[in-house]
Structures are given as C-alpha cells and as structure tokens.
C-alpha cells in the first residue's frame, strides 16, 4: 500500500520543476559536500535530470546553474536560461534509454 503521498515525501526537481517522490530523487548539494548535513537544505534532481547533468563536467554544472540564476530568478526564467545554456554547451546527442 502506498500511503506516503504527503508533501514530506515529495521533492521538486530544481532543473525541470517536476515533483517526484523523495526516494526517486537525487540529492543535489550546491556545495558539493553531501556528508555535511547540518543546517542545510538539500535540493533535488529527478533521475533523468540528474543523469543529464552528470554528463557535464562538475565545474561546468556549477557555472551553468549560477549563470542560469538559480535561486535568484523565477523557476520559469531559470529553466529558460538553463535550457539555453545547457543546449549551447552540449550538443543534443545524449543516449536515450
Ligand atoms: Zn528533473
């Protein structure tokens, strides 16, 4: 039985805005240190986004998120910028499975 549909178990993907269950999401820590959990609010990525982001160099991802205005602009704005930047730096040839 699936009873845990309350918001506590739902997280929002920071890349696509999709709401997924926490167990299906991947933690994304902007500071890159997921073992230091004190006073931190983790962000989440859904699996498809996490997989795509992993194809990029770590430094590039940070820069990409920063340039996209993560946390500073509306989600819509962020997604628009992010998509532009992401497609610009990486040709659309990821292997779909
Ligand atoms: Zn996503």
Share of residues in the chain with pLDDT > 70 (%): 61
Residue 36 Cα to ligand 1 midpoint, Å, equals 24
97 pLDDT above the threshold of 60 = no
Residue 60 Cα to ligand 1 midpoint, Å, equals 18
What pLDDT digit, counting tens, does each position of 52-96 carry? 776 655 556 777 788 888 778 888 888 888 888 877 755 555 555
pLDDT band at 4 (very low <50, low <70, confident <90, very high): very low
- Cα–Cα distances in Å, from 50 out to 1, 6, 36, 39, 61? 28, 23, 20, 23, 11
Residue 68 Cα to ligand 1 midpoint, Å, equals 15
32 pLDDT above the threshold of 70 = no
Q: What is the pTM of this model?
A: 0.41
Residue 37 Cα to ligand 1 midpoint, Å, equals 22
Share of residues in the chain with pLDDT > 90 (%): 9
pLDDT at 19: 92
Residues 6 or more apart whose Cβ sits within 8 Å of residue 73: 81
């Amino acid at each position: 039985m699936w009873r845990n549909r309350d918001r506590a178990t739902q997280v929002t993907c920071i890349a696509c805005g999709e709401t997924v269950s926490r167990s299906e999401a991947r933690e994304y820590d902007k500071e890159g240190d997921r073992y230091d959990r004190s006073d931190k609010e983790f962000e989440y990525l859904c699996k498809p986004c996490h997989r795509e982001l992993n194809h990029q160099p770590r430094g590039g991802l940070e820069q990409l998120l920063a340039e996209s205005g993560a946390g500073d602009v509306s989600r819509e704005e962020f997604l628009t910028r992010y998509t532009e930047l992401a497609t610009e730096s990486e040709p659309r040839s990821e292997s779909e499975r």
